Amino acid sequence: MKLDIGLLNLANALAAHSASRQGLVAENLANADTPGYRARDLEPFANVANRTSINARQMRATQEDHFGQSAGKAAFSIQETSAFGAESPNGNTVSLDDQMMRSAALKVDHDLAIGVYSKSLQILRLGLGRR
């Protein structure tokens, strides 16, 4: 019997993406009044999942900056983003309403990832005869 834990890998990647994206939303909110600050966000998770094979076996980084990125960190590309009409006269593109909506959507994504991960582990434990 082959144990395919692709679903666990996918849930782990979604949780990591949501956590990284939440950090950027917090940074955007912290700089809401900074002149010239441009709002940033990560590319959508669907693009990341389609671009890289999350289910495929990947090489492990054993040292910092091994393979051109920090060990243990996923490669999510950061891009500038702003809501329509959000740019203020001082060049700041942070919209508080937009960032709060992104934060709420991220909570849903993160809760989904954690729920799938925990339920999958419960199913594995049940299959092993443990509760």
The whole-angstrom distance between residue 12's C-alpha and the CA centroid of its chain comes to: 10
Give mean pLDDT, residues 120-127: 86
Express each pLDDT in 90-123 by its tens digit: 888 898 899 999 999 999 999 999 999 888 888 8
| Alpha carbons 89 and 110: distance in angstroms, whole number | 35
Please check the confidence at residue 33 and state whether its pLDDT lies above 50: yes
Q: What is the pLDDT of residues 53-84, one digit of tens each?
A: 554 445 555 666 554 444 344 467 788 887 77
Residue 31 has pLDDT above 50, yes or no: yes
Position 72 scores a pLDDT of 40
Can you give the C-alpha Rg of the chain in angstroms? 18
Check residue 35 and give its pLDDT: 92
For the four alpha carbons of 104, 105, 107 and 108, in that order, the dihedral sign comes to: positive
pLDDT over threshold 80, residue 130: no
Q: For the whole prediction, is pTM greater than 0.85?
A: no
Q: Are 17 and 47 in contact (CB under 8 A)?
A: no
| Better-predicted residue by pLDDT, 55 or 46 | 46
